[in-house]
Amino acid sequence: MLARINSYALNGLEGYGVGVEVDIHAGLPAFDVVGLPDTAIKESRERVRSAVKNSGFDFTPRKITVNLAPANTKKEGPIFDLAIAMGLLVSTEQAGVDERRMPLASVGEYVFLGELSLSGAVTRINGVMPMLISAREHGIKKIVIPYANASEAMYIRGVDVYAVKTLREAVDIVNGNAPAPIHTCDISACGIYTAHEDMKYVKGQYSAKRAMEIAAAGGHNMIMIGAPGGGKTMLAKCLPGILPDMTESEILETTKIHSVAGILDERYGIVTSRPFRSPHHTASRIALTGGGTSARPGEISYAHNGVLFLDELPEYPRSVLEILRQPLEDGVVTVSRAARTVEYPANFMLVASMNPCPCGFYGSATHECTCTPSQRAKYMSRISGPLLDRIDLHIEVDEVNYGDLTSDVEAESSAAVKERVDAARKIQTARYVGSHVHSNAKMTSEMIKTHCALDAAGERIMQSAFDKLGMSARAYTRILKVARTIADLDGSVNVCSKHVAEAVMYRSLDKAVK
């Protein structure tokens, strides 16, 4: 008997239907899986065989052929285990048939996703949320998933999701004993989980905190330069706490990526706070951008809608840093492999830190620098001009003195700074309504011309800075964008000379790298 079970698979973040066809007929006992399966799927033969037996069903050795359609698309992972087992049971009339041994129409109404253990338990899989969303968009109404994935399915409306712990529970569903589907809830009711540092615990660093507020208000990339131990890492960890709350679409986008990567927190099943990713400087190009045999997302995609922090930027290989240039401009990264090409979103804020020289103490008032001029120049040259152009704010982080460290005066909290950031972002949202732009950092050339017009005094400041620092055209537009953000924080409709002057202050590395 031939049985066809519906399942689903992923290509990047987009799901597509997979038909699991199971044919059992006379012949020498065999269990073959065709349809471009990978090793994990080929090994499902043993998992399915043991799961069926240990669930109390009959598994008589026969000639079994399983086809995963479409046959010209590479299938990966153990997510088809449950569908293959259901196909075997339907094909042998142990499931999905009525008392007259006639097939039940309900079998074709369901999509089955899940990995099987040898005991017959249905275990957690990756990528459930994007598959659920894609299935809903394609008109699928009923989906069976592992119980361990129920937390991320709670936020998907418009489709009935059934969470099962065992293969036998899945059989009960197609036999007409389906339990109530998972109860859904609104994303707005799930609460916001945060574990970020608070700016009130950052001692001193008033100019750096001001620059961070500007970066958060406009979505600007930033780099911090200062001696070791000055608080650069702690400042970076404070940034997600002053960024605007994530919208529902941002939450779903981010959760889809984390679900595919298998890094989603099972306790919450959803990402409600902005990601903060900090890969080590030994990370490879593939680890950063994504790739591998399965074209998985990388760190820049994990940081989508959040912050990517690169500590000690010059320590990263230059070839790794250069691949950031395209994602910083386009907000997406394309992972190309021999078998497929996948595009992942990568709209993140880049925050980097570095020492002013190899020893870290050039310009320090308390420590003597032991580096030669040539060593300092070589160190700075590890960061290319084109990459530096894409970083809007260059922040000099001062050394913290003893008085700041021991002061009992509590600094301004992240909550207070966030209020000003939210107000500035509301101005930008209203300004760019009807477009794909939501922050000053993403302004187009036309928007810059319209919203960043300078007065005569501002023009003089810009011309002087352009000539003295030898700026590129990209650096010029970055200054205008930052000046626009400073004006928004100031509540000013126009970009004034004082806003331009402050924005120019945050380009201290331009001359050093030229």
Domain boundaries, the chain: 2-174, 199-428, 443-508
Q: What is the mean pLDDT of residues 400-407?
A: 73
pLDDT at 195: 63
- Say yes or no to pLDDT of 197 above 50: yes
The answer for residues whose C-beta is within 8 angstroms of residue 17's C-beta and 6 or more apart is 6, 7, 8, 111, 135, 138, 140
- Its CATH class, for the domain covering 2-174, is alpha beta
Which structure tokens are listed for 428?
């930008």
Q: What is the pLDDT of residues 122-144, one digit of tens each?
A: 999 999 999 999 999 999 999 99
Point out which residues pair with 97 in neighbouring strands.
103
CA pair distance 383, 371, nearest whole angstrom: 18
pLDDT at 514: 45
Element (H, E) at 232: helix 232-242
The side-by-side arrangement of strands in the sheet containing 307-310 is 276-277, 307-310, 349-354, 222-225, 393-396
Q: What is the pTM of this model?
A: 0.89
Cβ neighbourhood burial of 443 (10 Å; 0-12, 13-18, 19+): buried
Contact 76, 109 (CB under 8 A): no
Q: What is the pLDDT of residues 416-467, one digit of tens each?
A: 999 999 999 999 999 999 898 999 999 999 999 999 999 999 999 999 988 8
Instruction: Please give the mean pLDDT across all residues of the chain.
Output: 89
- Say yes or no to pLDDT of 248 above 80: yes
Name the CA radius of gyration of the chain, rounded: 28
CA pair distance 16, 70, nearest whole angstrom: 10
Crossing angle between the packed helical segments 414-431 and 473-489, to the nearest 10 degrees: 110
CATH code for residues 199-428 = 3.40.50.300
Question: Please, where are the H alpha helices in 78-139?
Answer: 81-91, 128-137
**CA distance to 127, 150, 246, 252, 302, per residue, from 155 (Å):** 14, 10, 15, 9, 20
The side-by-side arrangement of strands in the sheet containing 14-25 is 30-34, 63-69, 14-25, 2-11, 110-112, 142-146, 160-164
CA pair distance 251, 272, nearest whole angstrom: 6
Please name which of 49, 111, 120 lies closest in space to residue 83, comparing C-alpha atoms.
111
